[in-house]
């Protein structure tokens, strides 16, 4: 059985939600061009985050001496190509900054 909602309870909840909205806009802009760019920004931001994680892992493995010189060369080439392709995609979609603001959590990418 659903709990009883006191008179005015829903207005109190709505008022709290409006007051505590954070960095998000009250309305979502669903223009077709903006949706495509927003989705591209989200996907490219996640790819950039993964690229940075891979780069940090490669550096740790290099410093630990667990990579051969050929593996280091391949990793370096792969990461450079990925970064170049990311630049091309950012230009294609007209995206300058991939860093997403996650509100209280901070920025997605350092």
Q: Which residues pair with 101 in a beta bridge?
A: 107
C-alpha atoms less than 13 angstroms from C-alpha of 87 in its C-beta half-sphere:
6
Residue predicted with more confidence, 84 or 48:
84
Sorting pLDDT into bands at 50, 70 and 90, what band is 5? very low
- Give the residue among 32, 91, 83 at the shortest CA–CA distance from 54: 83
Task: Check residues 38 and 84 and name the one with the higher pLDDT.
Answer: 84
pTM of the model: 0.60
Rounded CA-CA distance 36/30 in Å is: 10
Report, as an integer, the average pLDDT of 27-46. 76
pLDDT, mean over the chain: 77
Given this model, what pLDDT does residue 94 score? 87
């Amino acid at each position: 059985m659903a709990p009883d909602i006191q008179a005015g309870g829903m207005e109190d909840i709505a008022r709290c939600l409006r007051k505590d909205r954070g960095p998000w806009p009250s309305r979502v802009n669903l223009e077709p061009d903006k949706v495509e760019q927003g989705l591209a920004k989200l996907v490219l931001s996640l790819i950039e985050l993964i690229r940075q994680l891979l780069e940090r892992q490669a550096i740790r493995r290099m410093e630990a001496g667990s990579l051969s010189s050929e593996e280091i060369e391949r990793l370096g080439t792969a990461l450079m190509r990925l970064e170049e392709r990311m630049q091309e995609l950012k230009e294609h979609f007209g995206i300058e900054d991939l860093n997403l603001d996650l509100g209280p959590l901070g920025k997605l990418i350092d």
